Amino acid sequence: MPPSAIRPLRLVGRLLAATAAVVGLIAFFLALIVVTDGAGSGFVAWSATVGIAVVAALWRGRRRSWRGRLVPFRPVLVAAALALSVCVPTVPTTRHYPAALPFVTAEQWRLSTGSRVAVYHYPPTGNNPRRPAPLVYLNGGPVRGISVLDHRFLQRLAGQGYDVYAYEQAGGGRSDLLPMDQYSITRSVDDLGAFVSKLGKGRADVLGFSSGAVVLTRALADPAIADHLRRAVIAEPGPMDGPTARMAEQKGRPSARDLAPAMTGPRSTHVPRYAVAFGLMRLGLISPDNGLVGQAEGDNAFTAADLGSDTGSAYCARDAHRIPVEDTAENFSFSAAASLRVQQTIKDSPSIAQQLSRSRTPAMLMIAECSSQVRQWQTTILADNPAIERTQYMPGVGHHMWNGLGDNDQRAAAAITAFLQDNPAPLPDYPTRADIPAFLRAHK
């Protein structure tokens, strides 16, 4: 082979070797991140990786000229720079809370549990009769701020005579953070009991949505808290305990999960530091309380666009190209680490079926036609809670049932208010407990 052909091959070989060295060092760095749980913002893993790489480069260049000795350091420098981008924060590391909403004041309440939560109050408006019991709203998340879309729905309920209170669960929205090891489903339930007690207005009606519905369900299984609840609306619940979380999964009609246009806006997951941190947390390779990205920094970094297709999964397939903007960039808040922690405590919890079977608080279950929630999560609650008096299967809506599209808010409010007032339901009571097997077989 002529020398003119050998030189390009040697160059390609060197490039491939250098690339392999860089990839190997990055893989080693990520493995150390996992082993050390991201200690020292990742600098422990970075220092060990660079130190080992420098020693290896010195050994490789030991018999070369001084210029040749520099060659092995090139991939080391590239890998060190790439790994360093995972260690350096690009957002504040102390919590920056969302700006105040222009239409409601957030008050800070210190609960008897120690949680300091942001509370929103919508007094009754309009010409409808004032309802005697306050209505408390528990949003989904589990550790997430209340969206503007939800705030608008709460205003609608207040317009029908309800004295509406909502609070963002500890660590979410404008509520204060907790130490990571204090987040749990038990703490969330205790906070609900403490909130109703601090409200001091007698027994309260509670509307729980998504993970908020899980908190409410578990509260109904605790007589000390359930005695302070007048009526309960369980809307689109997640798994109530570990056995339920491990059930076979069956979902409702098709959602817009893979059909909706990609969300626009900045993504923290386009930044190496947060892509690595959130990715490894989601895979369970590092703990929510890891040393790579602190809770406050992670909350500051996470954006609505980071939710990706999760937002589309809350809407019917037919609505894929008209999904509303649920929130503003200024108001959006989601704690991925704390949410994972709470979800894990649910998965690790024993069955509450026996306790729930003794519930006596009148309850209603709401199920969306295009629900992204597992049907068995919903039907298990229906089967185990004898105090569920009616079920409302909401046609034409996804997981986020009140979403500002068409008459969805009006229909959701009608179902909720009819139950709270003990009036006839606007929809058939379906599925009943007897309907569960056929309901699951029909894949509704």
CATH number of the domain at 141, please: 3.40.50.1820
Per-residue pLDDT of the chain (444 residues; tens, 9 = 90+): 555 555 565 555 567 766 888 899 999 999 999 999 999 999 999 999 999 988 887 877 666 666 656 667 788 899 999 999 999 999 999 999 999 999 999 999 999 999 999 999 999 998 888 999 999 999 999 999 999 999 999 999 999 999 999 999 999 999 999 999 999 999 999 999 999 999 999 999 999 999 999 999 999 999 999 999 999 999 999 999 999 999 988 888 999 998 988 888 889 989 999 999 999 999 999 999 999 999 999 999 999 999 988 899 999 999 999 999 999 999 999 999 999 999 999 999 999 999 999 999 999 999 999 998 999 999 999 999 999 999 999 999 999 999 999 999 999 999 999 999 999 999 999 999 999 999 999 988
Q: Which two tokens stand for residue 316?
A: 């019917």
Write the DSSP symbol of residue 397. E
pLDDT of residue 57: 77
- Rounded to whole angstroms, how far apart are CA atoms 91 and 294? 11
**Please, which residues bridge with residue 107 across strands?**
119
Is 273 found in the same domain as 418? yes
Residue 31 domain-assigned?
yes
Is 111 found in the same domain as 180? yes
3 state SS for 57-119: HHHHCCCCCCCHHHCCHHHHHHHHHHHHHHHCCCCCCCCCCCCCCCCCCCEEEECCCCCEEEE
Q: Which two tokens stand for residue 406?
A: 């068409």
- The residue range of the domain holding 172 is 107-441
Residue 99 domain-assigned?
no
Is 217 found in the same domain as 312? yes
Is 232 found in the same domain as 273? yes
Q: Which two tokens stand for residue 357?
A: 């079977």
Note whether 360 and 305 are within 8 A (CB): no
pLDDT of residue 127: 84
Q: Which two tokens stand for residue 81?
A: 């720079």
Residue 318 domain-assigned?
yes
Q: Which two tokens stand for residue 411?
A: 């229909």
Is 408 found in the same domain as 273? yes
pLDDT of residue 197: 97
Residue 50 domain-assigned?
yes
Note whether 158 and 124 are within 8 A (CB): yes
pLDDT of residue 65: 64
Residue 100 domain-assigned?
no
Q: Which two tokens stand for residue 438?
A: 């056929």
Angle between helical axes of 43-60 and 3-36 (0-180°, round to 10): 150
Is 402 found in the same domain as 253? yes
Domains: count for the chain: 2
Angle between helical axes of 272-282 and 73-87 (0-180°, round to 10): 70
- Rounded to whole angstroms, how far apart are CA atoms 205 and 364? 11
- Rounded to whole angstroms, how far apart are CA atoms 130 and 125? 8
Domain limit, last residue, from 52, 87, 122? 87
Is 383 found in the same domain as 289? yes
Angle between helical axes of 336-347 and 185-199 (0-180°, round to 10): 100
Burial of 138 (0-12, 13-18, 19+ CB in 10 A): buried
pLDDT of residue 237: 98
Q: Which two tokens stand for residue 178?
A: 């907790």
Instruction: Count CB-CB contacts under 10 A for residue 132.
Output: 12
Residue 128 domain-assigned?
yes
- Work out whether the CA dihedral 403, 404, 406, 409 comes out positive or negative: positive
Is 168 found in the same domain as 51? no
Is 313 found in the same domain as 237? yes
* Residue 276 three-state SS: helix
Strand 204-209, strand 363-370: pairing: unpaired
* Residue 294 three-state SS: coil
Is 124 found in the same domain as 73? no
Strand 204-209, strand 229-235: pairing: parallel
Q: How many residues does this entry show for the chain?
A: 444
Is 113 found in the same domain as 80? no
Residue 94 domain-assigned?
no
pTM over 0.85: yes
Half-sphere exposure of 91 (CA within 13 A, CB side): 23
Location of structure tokens 């906070």: 191
The sheet carrying 164-168 orders its strands as 107-110, 116-122, 164-168, 135-138, 204-209, 229-235, 363-370, 388-398
Residue 176 domain-assigned?
yes
Q: Which two tokens stand for residue 259?
A: 């059909």
Note whether 430 and 365 are within 8 A (CB): no
Q: How far does CA 340 lie from the centroid of its chain?
A: 7
Residues 179, 144, 243, 371, Cα dihedral to 10°: -170
Is 174 found in the same domain as 112? yes
